[in-house]
Structure 1
Amino acid sequence: MNEQTSLNAIALSVALLSFSVLLGPYLNLPSAVPAAITLGVLVLAAVDTFGFNGLGSRLLLDGFSQLSPAHRQRVIHHEAGHFLTAQLLGATVVGYTLTAWEAFRQGHSGQGGVRVETPDFGETITASELERYCTIWMAGGVAESLVYDNVEGGADDLETLRSVLTQLDVGDAVLKERVAGRRAQQLLQTHWETYNALVTAMNQRASVEDCCQLIEQQVQSTV
C-alpha cells in the first residue's frame, strides 16, 4: 500500500471509528460495530491498492475534492500551465482530463491531466529535448505558484521528472529542475494573456484542437 493511500485509509478509518463511537449509544449499535467498520475500510483499501493499483481510492478522493469549486479551478490552472508550455515548446498534446473519473473513462490511470507525446528517454535523447520535457513537467506547479502563491499539485510531475533525470544520470538533477522551473515561469509570464484565455477554454471543456487553435491565434496576435 503506497504512503498516500495508507494515510487516506487511516484517516477515513479514524473518522468512521470516531463517528460510530459517538453515535453508537444513540443508535444502539453493538460495541463491535466500530471495530468492524474500521477493519472493513482497511481491508477494502488494501484490496483496492494491491488489486486495482489504488484506482478506487483515487476516484473516491478525487470525487470529494471536485465538490470544491476552488479545487476545480486550481486543477484547471495547473493543467493549463502544462498545456500552454507544451504547445509553446512544440510538443504534441494528445488529450487532457481534469478529474480522475474523466481519466478513467478515457482508459487512463491517475488523477487526470494533460497528455503529451513523449520520446523514449534513452541515451539518444538530446539535451534540448530533455530540457523541453522537463520544462513542461514543471509548468503545472509553476502556474499554480504564479496564480495562488503556493503549489498543492504536481507531485506526479516531479516524480516523473526526477525519475527520468535519474535514469539518464544527467549530473546535477536539482539544478536542471530549477532551470526548467525558471524557463516555465518565463514562458508563462511572457504569454500570460494566452494562459488566461486557455484557462477559460479548458473551464468550458474545449477540445484539444480548439485549445491549440486558441493558443496559436493568441500568440500570433501578440507578435
Structure 2
Amino acid sequence: MACFFKERMNFAVELRLKTPGDGILAPMKVKEADYAVRRRRALKRVDKELSKSDFKRALSLVKQLQGKPFGLRGFGAAKQVPRSRLVLNQLVFNGIDLSPLGPLVDSVMDSIDKSLHFLLPDGERRGSSCEEDHFLCLQHEAGHFLVGYLLGALPKRYTVPSVEELRDGNFEGGKVEFLGFEFLREVGAAQMLRKNIINEESSCSGNRGKISSKTLNNFSCIILGGLVVEHLVFGDSEGHYSDVDKLDKALKWLGFSNSEANFQVRWAALNTVFVLCRHHKARLKLVEAMAQRQSVGFCIDAIENAIDGRQI
C-alpha cells in the first residue's frame, strides 16, 4: 500500500569516523545509534519483567519508550480506519481509497462465517507436512502479535510449536497472550456456567460497562490478525474456529445484537487488513524472529527496525 503520510525526524550532526587502515567510514548518526542501543537495553529489561510475570512493570517500561525517536515508534501508533458505517459503505476516509481492500475483506468475512458454521474448505488440509504446518502457524501467530503491538496491546508471551514437536504429535498449535484482556476470564466463566448468552442479550448488555470500546476494538482486530495474515500469504484460510468463536462469544457476552456484531466484525476485518497491509515488512521480520523462538523484546525490536516511520 502506498505511503500517505510523512514524518519529519531531527537527527544529530553527522560525524565521520576514522579507523586504522580503512580511512573514513560512512557517516554515522551518533544519536540514532545511541537510541538504538538504549532501546535494546530497555527491551531486555522488559523481557526480564515479563519472565517474572511483572506485567505492570513491563508495560511501564514500554510506555517510557513509546513514541520517542528510535524508541518504540510503532507501539500503539498504527493508523486505523475510523469505526464508521459511512467508511465501511464507501471504503474511503481522509482521501484514502480503501476499495482495493474490499475483496480481501469480503473473503475474510466469508472465512469467519464458515468457521462459525463449521463449513471448512473441502479437500486436503493446506499444511500437509510438519514443515508446512509450522510455517502456517508462524504466519498466523505473527499476525496476532503484530496487530496487537501496533494497536498498543503488549504481548506477554507467545508459543509456536517447532517442526520437531509437530512430528512428535504435538498439535496444540501456537498462541500469543496479551495484557489487558482479562475480561475473557468472565466470558469463559459465563460459558462454563452454561449461561445461554445467545438468548440473554438484555441481561448481557450490562457487561458493556466492564470493558472500554478501545479494548473491544483492539481485541476484535487482534483476534482476527491470524486469519487475515493467512489470506494475505495464502489467498485463503482453512478457518480458525477457536479465534472466531472467542470473538463471537465475547460479543454475545456484551449483549450485542446480530446487527451490532456484524458491524463490529466487519470493521475489525477492514481495519486489520489495513494495518497489516501497511506493515508488510515488519511482519516478515517478526516471522523470522518468532521462527528462532526469540524473546518478546527481541521480536519487538525486529518490528521497530522494520517499521517505516512515515507509514505508522
Q: TM-score, normalised by structure 1?
A: 0.62
1:65-104 per-position Cα deviation (integer Å, ceiling 9, x unaligned): 79521121111001100000010011010111113998xx
Alignment correspondent of 2:301: 213
Structure 2 unaligned spans of 5+: 1-126, 166-170, 185-206
RMSD: 2.4
Q: 2:274 aligns with which of 183, 186, 195?
A: 186
Supply the AA of the counterpart residue of 1:199: V
Alignment correspondent of 2:253: 167
- SS of aligned partner of 2:152: coil
Mapped pair 1:124 → 2:210: yes
Deviation at 1:220, TM superposition (A): 5.6
Question: 2: CA distance between counterparts of 1:195 and 1:204?
Answer: 14
1:142-182 per-position Cα deviation (integer Å, ceiling 9, x unaligned): 00000001112522111110000000012321221111111
Residues 146 and 76 from structure 1, CA distance in 2 versus in 1: closer, same or farther, beyond 3 angstroms? same
Identity %: 30
Mapped pair 1:68 → 2:130: yes
- SS of aligned partner of 1:162: helix
Q: Give matches, 1:41-80, under 5 Å.
A: 67-80=129-142
User: Alignment length, in residue pairs?
Assistant: 153
Supply the AA of the counterpart residue of 1:125: I
Supply the AA of the counterpart residue of 2:217: E
Deviation at 1:202, TM superposition (A): 1.0
State whether residues 66 and 72 of structure 1, in contact with CA within 8 Å, keep that contact through their aligned partners in structure 2.
no
State whether residues 137 and 173 of structure 2, in contact with CA within 8 Å, keep that contact through their aligned partners in structure 1.
no
Q: 1:113 aligns with which of 175, 189, 193?
A: 175
Q: Give matches, 1:2-151, under 5 Å.
A: 67-99=129-161, 110-117=172-179, 118-120=181-183, 122=207, 123-151=209-237
Deviation at 1:112, TM superposition (A): 2.8
RCO comparison, higher one (Cα < 8 Å, 6+): 2
Structure 1 unaligned spans of 5+: 1-64, 103-108
Q: Considering fraction of residues, name the structure with more helix.
A: 1
Question: 1: CA distance between counterparts of 2:219 and 2:175?
Answer: 15
Q: 2:287 aligns with which of 169, 182, 199?
A: 199
- SS of aligned partner of 1:114: strand
Question: 1: CA distance between counterparts of 2:154 and 2:137?
Answer: 21
Q: TM-score, normalised by structure 2?
A: 0.45
- SS of aligned partner of 1:194: helix
State whether residues 141 and 174 of structure 2, in contact with CA within 8 Å, keep that contact through their aligned partners in structure 1.
no
